[in-house]
Amino acid sequence: MGCQILQLIIVTVTLLISASYATEYIRPKPRQLLHFPWSRRSSTEPQQVHISLAGDNHMRISWVTDDSSAPSIVEYGTSPGQYSAKAEGESTSYSYMLYKSGKIHYTVIGPLNPDTAYFYRCGGEGPEFQLKTPPAQLPITFAIAGDLGQTGWTKSTLDHIDLCKYDMHLLPGDLSYANYMQHRWDTFGELVQPLASRRPWMVTEGNHEKENIPLVKEGFQSYNARWKMPFEESGSSSNLYYSFEVAEVHVIMLGSYTDYDEYSEQFRWLKADLGKVDRKRTPWLIALFHVPWYNSNTAHQGEGDEMMSYMEPLLYAAGVDMVLAGHVHAYERSNRVYGGKSDRCGAVHITIGDGGNSEGLARRYQTPHPEWSVFREASFGHGELQIVNSSHAFWSWHRNDDDEPVKSDEVWITSLASSGCLADKAPEFRKILLEP
Ligand SMILES: [Fe+2]
């Protein structure tokens, strides 16, 4: 009898322990839009300050003023309050139906030293800002979050990124979710300023940047006016696709919503850009765009197929290591994959459209589980990519559990440059990327 009671206790305790391990994280609901006391400040005070790379050793500083006479100058130096250099830039503005933007300033500063803190002031007055330039060599750390919006979850994601030691923010599309209400671009600029004024934000566009009105407005007017990226510096004729090099990484930013077929300007530019990549100088090759090619969520299923059919062979021939996409409001990581199947010389595809926008999470997945999909979960969060050396990188995804960042997925990634795949691909590289 005593033995039976003991057995019963052991079984009960075992069941309780296994039940506690099996408890699933209960994902929170979408949070409300943040409301800002937005009003025009009739002054020359800089607003919405953000920075981005602008060619070798240069940084583009952007800000907005209400006063159209405010000068587009940036004073900067390596000590607080002591500005040993000064640069003058350009400005633009735009109208959208009844809305008239403030004066949008762009000023390129440099040459700057790598991995160095600079102090700067915009327009000759106002507060001092501080930035850090990226390192010239590895290691480098990227923070990545797409589909940000401006909700309570966006704030939570940005707060978590702020806790991370990183060099650059990469954003694979869908920034403000202004959705045609232009003042929401201004509030988004204010929301991200604390981070985007300190580290370069390199962004590409999503569907929420398009904001076209047939016969009235072409797409991407606000995005192009406010988020100028270094497309001219990379030989592109459009702000909607470009590339840059940082540390020992070549990063390609593509447009999911501009022409991509074999006769398009984007296709020609991509082929030429990939053909010039020198893997001795940049052993890592990464691509970002908005609509994922490998997605086993039911949301936006198949939307990336056409772009993939034209461009995946180019990326494969070039030996792209990783592809980061957004659009689907959930997280997913693949094996190295090509042509719909796991392939040791393909790219790792990551969907990270879970920044925290107001549309909520995409919770339904295809079954059965595709063989290439390693990890998938519908939660808000952000990614961190630390490229340690020419052969190894550490990827981690940090879920927003309530308001705490919890590392939920992590993996070491070995570069194709170190795996022998690039040597195997050399004939394909010449045929697909170098032949006219
Ligand atoms: Fe999207």
Q: How far is the CA of 376 from the centre of ligand 1 (A)?
A: 18
pLDDT tens digits for range 38-68? 555 547 899 999 999 999 999 999 999 999 9
The neighbourhood of ligand 1, an ion, using CB within 5 A, equals 174, 206-207, 327
Classify strands 284-288 and 381-387 as parallel, antiparallel or unpaired.
unpaired
pLDDT in tens, 315-327: 999 999 999 999 9
Q: Which of 296, 279, 307, 302 is nearest to 349 (CA)?
A: 296
Q: End of a domain among 74, 103, 132? A: 132
**Residue 257 forms part of a structural domain:** yes
Q: What is the CATH number of the domain that holds 396?
A: 3.60.21.10
pLDDT tens digits for 371-416? 999 999 999 999 999 999 999 999 999 998 766 678 899 999 999 9
Among 132, 157, 172, which residue terminates a domain? 132
95 lies in the same domain as 178: no
Distance 22 CA to ligand 1 centre (A): 33
- Whether the link from the prior residue into 313 is cis, omega within 30° of 0, is no
pLDDT tens digits along 90-149:
999 999 999 999 999 999 999 999 999 999 999 998 899 999 999 999 999 999 999 999
**How far is CA 355 from its chain centroid?**
10
Q: Are 180 and 210 in contact, with CB atoms under 8 Å apart?
A: no
Choose one of 132, 153, 174: the last residue of a domain: 132
Cα pseudo-dihedral 260, 201, 417, 256, rounded to 10: -10
Does residue 216 share a domain with residue 86?
no
Question: How many whole angstroms separate alpha carbon 200 and alpha carbon 352?
Answer: 19
Number of domains comprising the chain: 2
Same-domain status, 313 and 429: yes
Examine the pLDDT at 13 and tell me if it is beyond 60.
no
Catalytic residue, candidates 50, 105, 169, 300: 300
Question: Ligand 1 centroid vs 392 CA: distance in angstroms?
Answer: 30
pLDDT of residue 21: 36
**Domain range holding 251?**
140-434
Sequence-distant (≥ 6) Cβ neighbours of residue 205 within 8 angstroms: 173, 220, 223, 240, 255, 256, 257, 290
CA 157 – ligand 1 centroid, Å: 17
Amino acid at 119: F
50 is an active site residue: no
Task: Classify residue 370 by its DSSP letter.
Answer: P
What value does the mean pLDDT of the chain take?
91
Instruction: Give me the count of residues in the chain.
Output: 436
**Distance from the CA of 431 to the center of ligand 1, in angstroms?**
34
Write down the H helix ranges in 126-241. 152-162, 183-196, 221-226
Q: Which residue has the higher pLDDT, 14 or 36?
A: 36
Sign of CA dihedral 384, 380, 349, 194: negative
